[in-house]
Structure 1
Amino acid sequence: MEEIIYQKTYQEFKQECDRVVKETAESFVRLGYLLKVARDTNVLEESGYKTVAEFAEAEYSLNSTYVSRFIAINDKFAEGGYSDKLDSKYQGYGYAKLTVMLQLPESMNEELTPEMTKAEITELKNEFDAEKETSDIERLCEGANPLAYNLEDVDERSKLLYETILALGETSPELYIKIAAIAWVDKVEELVRQLPIIMVPSDTRIYSVRVTGKGRMMLACSEEKVSIINSRTGEKETYDWNDVAAAWTYAGVASELPFDKTPEEKWEKRYEKKYPVAPVQESKPKKETRVVKAEPEEEPEPQVPGQMDFAESCPEILPEDYEAEGVANEIQENENESQEFENKIQEVDNKDDDLDNTNQESDAVQQDEFPDEVERAREDVLSLIDGIRNEVCKPDITSTKIRELQSNSGYLVGQYLQNLARALYDYELTLPDKEEDE
């Protein structure tokens, strides 16, 4: 085959393709308009055709399905819903994307961008279709998310955002970890600044999130705002990034003390389960997408028929002591674990006894005599020191991280020590004079 020589640059080629696609979409809008004219006026009267479908089939080999589709595209995407011009907000999509967008509510289409691919828009449509498989009765029977507590005094608009972000954090633990790593209770402005960077790596990102008892919510994020579209009703609520930061704080990402919990520990505490083990990394990097699907509900792996009741259905082929062996082994394992645990407890008790004896011989106040205020202040100091120690002992520690550590914890160390000193001083004022003892 003879090689074809094309003189234009890629940019020129791409611009030409964009122009053709745009013209194609607009031509379909114009065709839809003309078909509507044929349907709604007497223009076909002298042609002999009785209907617009008959005319389109005979003259252009367009069956009734295509006629309906072109008319629907004009209804939805033409200026004013009845024009030969494509509405300006749908410029640049092309016929293929508009055909998929026909099946999405207007509130969802408003959040899409021409840069999105047909595959991404189709993925979004599939999420809407998936929610239709759950009936209203099934949805109501799901009840509320037990983890969505303390929302009694929150208005419904904010409650929807809080529950959606809470569900997103559970089904997207990696996203939760990224946000938890930079979230601090006293640095809300920084969280607001970082959230769009983390959640919207491209121009737009849409997260499909299934909220228990409410259905799939489409969390459409851009740099300026965040919207939630209810896939069942098409209703939309819009929020700013301050609202989203408050929702993530409700989901437990923010730290009160430096290094009080790792991001994974925060996730485990908020969702009351173990952090999922990371899958083996793919050799090929995953392509970035603007649509993130809702995670499917976890279902138990199907069992081979009879597998679950094997011992009951086939007792004749099992050893007589089958059950006894299993129970005996389990008991022995439990006894071994219990013994190890008791040994550790005994070691701790011995150390405590030694400490008590030492304290009794000195003039210092015994630990168990301190009031709650002193104990709480002391625990705060020790927790903070433990967190600093853990960070300093990490193998990847650098001078930059030490400076960050100093910046984050320097003030708190002084403040917590001052609190402890104040609590001890208040307590010492209540002690009797020691002159008689001396």
Structure 2
Amino acid sequence: MWRFESSHKRAESHYLDHVIARIEVDPHLFRHAESLLDAVGHQEPLIAQSYKTPQDIRYHAEGPFMRDHLRSMLMFLFALSEEKVHLIDIEEFRRMKGYEGEIQELEDIIKENILFFQVFIFGHDVAKWLSVTFSSKSGSRGSQLRFNTPREHQFDEAAHERVKKLAEYLDLYEHFAHQEFQGTDRETQAQFFLQYGIQVHYPHHARKISAPVFSALLTRLCHAHRLPDRDRAMLEDLIAHHMEFGSDFRVVNPTRIRRYTHMAFKRGYDADDFIDLVQACLLLDHCVGSLRLRAHGYWHESTSLVNFFQSEHDFAPRRRVEKEAEREAREKNERNQVLRDVGLDGVAMMDVLGMESGPEFGLALRRIHAGLLGQAKMPSFGRKIDAEIERRAGAFYKKMFVKGE
């Protein structure tokens, strides 16, 4: 769904790395995320187990274990919901001229579906724990310790050898963190990789959400968060395919949009709404939840989401204009209904102003509505009338706020 304008009053923009760094040191957001992690882990042993999943620093340098990844996503989610950050104030998105409305809409969708995205966060990587395999650089200490999962064990969840190596990895990392290196979690993760060269893999973990044990877990999470069955169905599709969201848009590729419109058509979803949810999941998981580490340092990758926006536009440029016209018409109808409800429509205002229908009244009404919407200064008609208009304007703002305008 397309918008051309953002309703947020812009502040000075900052790069995504700076925004995330500010969020990470916010004690309130940290405690909020940690309390939710503890609560959900206490209720669901599978979730608690997943927190200990080791992370591959090549793709997840935010911390050594999956709990760090989930915390990063939750903290950003809460920062958005608490108005501590706005997407349009992130420099990588501010640069997208003409996409301001779409970026604002993405933020609104996330804010309006906080519980939905909480379930996505807890469920999207839960099967990693049962999927962990290892490989090591040739000649590395990890290779000497035989952290190379044989191919025959990579897809066997009950493989004793693979499970044994996971336990050995956790013991090895704990020993390294306490005996061989003293530093922050991220520094320890980086040094461990440099010392041992062990790479972590999770073959086909996303698709395992459809396995009975994880499907039942997803159902319980949805029930606990009071999400309807339709949301549960969409969450299963989003989780099953979330590893493809970033790879599909490494470059601008309009043809990949058809994949998601086709999926929505098959499942009976609205294609625009489904694509919006895909973009939100990509933002939370790939852009803000996954820290990268390269020779130049740590960084967050936003290119895939930018390419997604551009691909969506290029896939159906006329659709953008059509959706904008539909949105404007819908918002105008909703606004007019609220004006009638609070007595600020033309019929009601003729009584308030004591005027007859005509050009003079039409001009006065337009000036009142312009003042109401912040487009001009509110005209004055005398103390008594001004007080009545102000009272009705307050009711108008209250109703529009409830509607999310």
TM-score (norm 1): 0.18
Rg larger in structure: 1
Q: Which has the higher contact order (CA 8 A, sep 6+)?
A: 2
Could you say which structure has the higher helix fraction? 2
